[in-house]
Chains A and B, each alone.
Chain A
């Protein structure tokens, strides 16, 4: 679906990617994680063809991304972190933009809008930031595009809306669809994503499915630190200690995304050794 081979990209003075390679397959919700400025948004823009790689290739549905081909663009929807909404009523927005997406469903849009409690008769630019975002999330899901790129989708949403977001998203994935969510709010996408990819220093540091992670790593929270040789990473929290350990029980554990991310960033050798063994 999306094939990124040896991608190199740099802004004027800053090198962002250096030989990054990754494939994104349908049927998955990917969580794209990384420090600030590691290039998560830049990767999205490269996938959409909004930026041109200095080296390497990106193909989306077989089209080179840089072509910004209408067939390709009608199969993907990007919800950027800083988004734009025109000064139109929701029904006009949908009425004039939806025809570009052949599989757009009005019913689904109305359902999502209703789930999000967004008023349908309002003007987009007169809504609150959260309402605008929820309208765009509802629109993006109703387009039924095969690829959905969401950059920090929960920024600006209140606590209830974040729960609504999780509920709406969990019902939207199917075997033909690929959703990539880039976020710092890992708690917001917990139990939602099926695969996690971490970018660091211009390349993919970690790329595994949640089930594979659960089988190889376990996460514990206790009042004392275990000091076990299986411990990969541990940190003190308000209520005690959180640890990331090698899971040799054979049982799949529940993945703590925040701890996993810290372990990947701070103990990359141990993590890579474990997963590449």
Chain B
């Protein structure tokens, strides 16, 4: 018997986990649907029931950017929900360790810590990701049709001759953007990379909190996140304000990796901003940035594994 990782035991554990939590997850699914429904009703109300607003004059849409707002609304709603539900769902990871009976039942199941940890990742990260996306579209697709229908109804006579880019259901999984984030020629890919790694970081952080704290893990993890965030924020400010980094607009704006790489490749570490000798170039910052975005969630997930291994009841 392989005592570290057995795929058959892992699949048994996942099956067991889903069977034991079926009711709870169904309840969560209905909760997510209800909240998404309420959020879309609020979006419609706030936008005067015209979230897909546009005007047409002589067959020309006079405010083409407004239609893209609907895409932004969907995008922001999707990722806000993913972050919030990801955090909440991760916080109830493993088991309720404040209940020793439940913890004993869980830890005594004949499976390795690695298998128990992987089960949590499969359920909390992968299943949630797909289940949430499915639930989101169950509300988003009808909402998009409704928003367009409401708007089209007001432009029936002008719509026939008008030509404009119609915005439909947002594609949150754009493969070329998600999986090729390292290619600078793919526009906006960095945003997807940030969002995905941000999601993983949140999930990893709350999973660690779930195994670290026995009681009120959600609130304690939130507090810990606040403290870490404050330290990071103030440390970041002092780091950026120091002379160790090259000055320039990029310091205060979103780090455009493509631009940085281009500078690094063409100029090396030569300082094109006058008056300063650069110790650490933008390429370095870029590397640090990507390293942190990948390292942080991985590190936190590993921490939760080792904490689980050491857990006592």
Contacts and interface: CB of A to CB of B under 8 A. Distances in A.
Contact of A100 (B100, B107, B109, B312): B109
Interface string A79-98: 01011101110001001110
B105 A84 contact: yes
Contacts of B3: 69-71
Interface residues of A, number: 27
B59 interface: no
Contacts of A77: 108
B105 A74 contact: no
Interface stretch (A48-56, A219-227, A234-242): A48-56
A97 B109 contact: yes
A254 to B, nearest CB: 36
Contacts of A84: 99, 101-102, 104-105
Contacts of A255: none
A78 B111 contact: no
A70 B19 contact: no
A73 B110 contact: yes
Contact of A83 (B21, B105, B113, B313): B105
Contacts of B107: 48, 50, 68
B313 A51 contact: yes
Contacts of A100: 9, 12, 16, 109-111
Interface in A171-188: none
Contacts of B115: 70
Interface in A31-48: 45, 48
B15 A96 contact: yes
B100 A82 contact: yes
B1 interface: yes
B28 to A, nearest CB: 14
Contacts of B104: 45, 48, 50, 78, 80, 83-84
Contacts of B100: 82
A77 B109 CA distance: 9
A101 interface: yes
A96 B9 CA distance: 11
A88 B12 contact: no
Contacts of B24: 87
Interface in A90-113: 92, 95-97, 99-101
Interface string B65-102: 00000000000000000000000000000000001111
Interface residues of B, number: 29
A35 B17 CA distance: 37
Nearest to B104: A80
B102 A50 contact: no
A96 B101 contact: no
Contacts, number: 75
Given A45-B313, A96-B15, A74 B108 contact: no
Nearest to A78: B108
A101 B108 CA distance: 12
In this complex, the member of B9, B16, B22 whose beta carbon has the largest number of chain A beta carbons within 10 angstroms is B16
B20 A50 contact: no
Interface in B260-313: 312-313
Contacts of A52: 312
B313 A87 contact: no
Interface string B109-122: 11111010000000
Contacts of B253: none
Contacts of A74: 110
Contacts of A92: 19
Nearest to B111: A70
Contacts of A86: 19-21, 105
Nearest to A101: B110
A70 B9 contact: yes
A82 B101 contact: yes
A83 B101 CA distance: 5
A69 B1 CA distance: 11
A95 B105 CA distance: 16
Nearest to A82: B101
A133 to B, nearest CB: 12
Nearest to A49: B107
B23 interface: yes
Interface of B: 1, 3, 6, 9, 12, 15-16, 19-24, 99-102, 104-105, 107-113, 115, 312-313
20 contacts: A50-B313, A68-B107, A68-B113, A70-B111, A71-B3, A73-B110, A73-B111, A74-B110, A78-B104, A83-B104, A84-B104, A84-B105, A86-B19, A86-B20, A86-B105, A87-B23, A88-B19, A92-B19, A97-B109, A99-B12
Q: Which 5 A-B pairs have the closest CB atoms?
A: A74-B110, A73-B110, A86-B20, A84-B101, A96-B16
Given A73-B111, A78-B108, A96-B20, 19 more contacts: A45-B104, A50-B104, A50-B108, A68-B107, A70-B111, A71-B110, A73-B108, A78-B104, A82-B100, A83-B101, A83-B104, A86-B105, A87-B20, A87-B23, A87-B24, A88-B20, A100-B16, A100-B109, A100-B110
